[in-house]
Structures are given as structure tokens and as C-alpha cells.
């Protein structure tokens, strides 16, 4: 991919290179409302020679192959026709009847619009564009994987904070949360301190004869059910519909800014959530 990019930059020159990668950034990084059709039209007006079009084709194919982790097929047979094909005029004519539908345009959208977490291809393409703009060759494969895992951990922390705010849970070793959905013990009930939590007990026992470690006996099903019923009877009567709402997200981020971490990012997103709540 870097080889195709260098050949494209050599054919464009310094001025066209800045304009080309500026358009690529607007479309690929979703920093504006530029669609794929608008990007193709702008690049069509920018490229003037057949060699530039060929280099542009090779670069896009290499970029797509990098994203999809597929091999780049040879495009030598398509050089005669070029990358840009003649547009079908029927797509730009008003439909003659309400039953005729124009062919929908498939657009690349952001992860927030698709409601999916960013994958390796999504992150790798944006890292590459930012690196080229800064004069770098790119980034190692491990960088993409680390950012993907960081995004997953970031979303997990937000969801965990929302769930722990809405439902009761247990804590092991002073920090590990588990057992979500359990009732919060009512301190006003006398029998609250008699609740037995078998999960806090040691998982192994020491045999008396040879000091060896053996698995601890787990409580029977009947005993576990009785303890669970006793915990619910000593818990606070609080109804929960089990839904994570926009209001819950707003309250969670507002009361615990450390979830997002960055002050500027936290304030901007908190402001957007507030506007969404006012509109709803």
C-alpha cells in the first residue's frame, strides 16, 4: 500500500497531493458530510492525466485490500477503461412513477452511525491517513490491535458504570465487580448481616493429613437457592426495568467524569447528551 501511495504522490506533485489527501481525509475520516459520490466527483476534477487516474486506482485498491485483509488483484486489464466509468443517466432522472425507486447508494459511515464497535480495518484505514498527513509511512499492525482493544475496554467501562448505577452487585478483592442484578442489602433489616456469600469463600481447602490443597466443597443447589431467597428478602425494594437509557448515561458520566477521562471530551459529550435529552 505504501508503494502505491508513493507512486500516486509522485504523479500528483506537491500541490495536487495536498488537495487529494485533503479530499481523502474528508471522506474517509467522516470529518464532513462528503459522500463517496462527492469524493469521486472531486477527484475526477482534480486528476488531469491518465497516469494519475491509474495511480489513483492502484492506491484505492491497495487501501481497500488493507482494510479487508485480502490480496490485491492485478488491475492491469482495467487500465484501458480507467477507474471512472460512465454514469448511468437514469440515476439522475426523476422517477416517472412513484413505484420506481432509484438504486440506493451504499455509503461508508462511522462506527457510531453503524452502531458497531470499530474493527481492525476501520481503525487501520484512519491511522494510515493520519500517518500520511504527518509525513509518516504508517503504523505497525500491533498498533491497530491495541486501539481496537482500548475501544472495547472503554465501552465496557461505560456500560459497567451504567449497570452498577442501576442494579446491585458484589465486589471481590475490593475492586472486582460481579453478580450484577442482586438486591442491595437493606441496613435497616436486622438479618442483613446473616447473609452468606459463598463466592467470597476460598476456592481451595488444606487437607489435614498431608497439607495438600483440595477443591473446596460447593454448596448444594437447595442451599444456594435458600441463600439467594434470603438475600432478596433482606434487600431493598427497588424496581428496575433493566433498561439502559439516555438519562442513565447522562447521569453516570456527569457524576463520574473519570469514566471518559479527558476533560474536553467529557464536557463535549455531556453537552450533546443534554441536548438530546431536551429534544426527546
- The predicted model gives 50-70 an average pLDDT of 79
Rounded distance, CA 47 to CA 42, Å? 9
Which of 87, 113, 101 is CA-nearest to residue 33? 113
In this prediction, residue 171 carries a pLDDT of 78
Sign of the Cα pseudo-torsion (207, 212, 213, 218, in order)? negative
Rama region for 154: left / alpha / beta (φ>0; ψ in -120 to 50; rest): alpha
Q: In sequence order, which residues have a C-beta less than 8 Å from that of residue 227 and are 6 or more positions away?
A: 195, 196, 198, 219
Q: Mean of the pLDDT values across residues 235-263?
A: 82
Q: Spell out a b/e string for 77-105, using b for 16 or more CB atoms within 10 Å of the CB, else e.
A: eeeeeebeeeeeeeeeeeeeeeeeeeeee
Residue-wise pLDDT for 181-218, tens only, equals 777 777 787 777 777 666 666 667 777 667 777 777 77
Contacts of 38 (CB under 8 A, 6+ apart): 27
**The model's pTM:** 0.59
Dihedral class, residue 242 (left if φ above 0, else alpha if ψ from -120 to 50, else beta): left
β-sheet bridge partners, residue 185: 235
122-142 pLDDT per residue, tens: 788 788 877 877 777 777 778
The confidence score (pLDDT) of residue 33 equals: 63
| 23: CB partners within 8 A, 6+ apart | 34, 39, 42, 43, 46
Q: What is the pLDDT of residues 221-242, one digit of tens each?
A: 888 788 878 887 887 766 667 7
Strands (E), 14-150: none
Q: Count of alpha carbons within 13 Å of 54, Cβ hemisphere only?
A: 14
Amino acid at each position: 500500500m505504501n508503494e502505491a501511495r508513493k507512486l500516486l504522490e509522485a504523479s500528483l506533485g506537491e500541490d495536487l497531493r495536498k488537495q487529494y489527501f485533503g479530499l481523502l481525509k474528508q471522506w474517509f475520516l467522516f470529518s464532513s458530510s462528503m459522500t463517496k459520490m462527492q469524493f469521486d466527483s472531486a477527484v475526477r476534477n482534480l486528476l488531469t492525466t491518465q497516469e494519475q487516474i491509474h495511480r489513483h486506482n492502484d492506491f484505492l485498491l491497495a487501501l481497500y485490500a488493507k482494510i479487508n485483509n485480502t490480496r490485491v488483484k492485478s488491475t492491469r486489464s482495467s487500465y484501458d477503461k480507467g477507474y471512472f466509468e460512465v454514469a448511468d443517466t437514469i440515476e439522475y432522472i426523476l422517477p416517472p412513477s412513484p413505484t420506481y425507486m432509484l438504486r440506493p447508494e451504499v455509503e461508508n459511515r462511522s462506527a457510531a452511525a453503524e452502531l458497531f464497535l470499530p474493527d481492525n480495518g476501520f481503525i487501520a484505514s484512519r491511522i494510515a491517513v493520519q500517518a500520511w498527513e504527518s509525513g509518516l509511512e504508517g503504523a505497525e499492525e500491533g498498533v491497530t490491535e491495541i486501539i481496537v482493544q482500548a475501544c472495547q475496554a472503554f465501552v465496557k467501562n461505560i456500560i459497567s458504570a451504567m449497570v452498577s448505577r442501576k442494579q446491585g452487585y458484589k465486589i471481590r478483592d475490593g475492586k472486582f465487580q460481579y453478580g450484577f442484578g442482586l438486591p442491595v442489602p437493606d441496613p435497616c433489616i436486622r438479618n442483613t448481616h446473616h447473609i452468606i456469600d459463598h463466592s467470597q469463600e476460598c476456592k481451595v481447602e488444606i487437607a489435614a493429613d498431608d497439607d495438600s490443597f483440595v477443591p473446596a466443597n460447593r454448596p448444594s443447589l437447595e442451599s444456594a437457592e435458600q441463600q439467594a431467597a434470603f438475600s432478596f428478602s433482606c434487600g431493598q425494594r427497588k424496581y428496575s426495568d433493566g433498561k439502559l437509557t439516555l438519562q442513565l448515561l447522562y447521569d453516570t458520566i456527569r457524576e463520574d467524569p473519570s469514566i471518559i477521562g479527558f476533560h474536553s471530551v467529557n464536557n463535549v459529550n455531556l453537552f450533546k447528551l443534554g441536548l438530546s435529552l431536551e429534544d426527546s
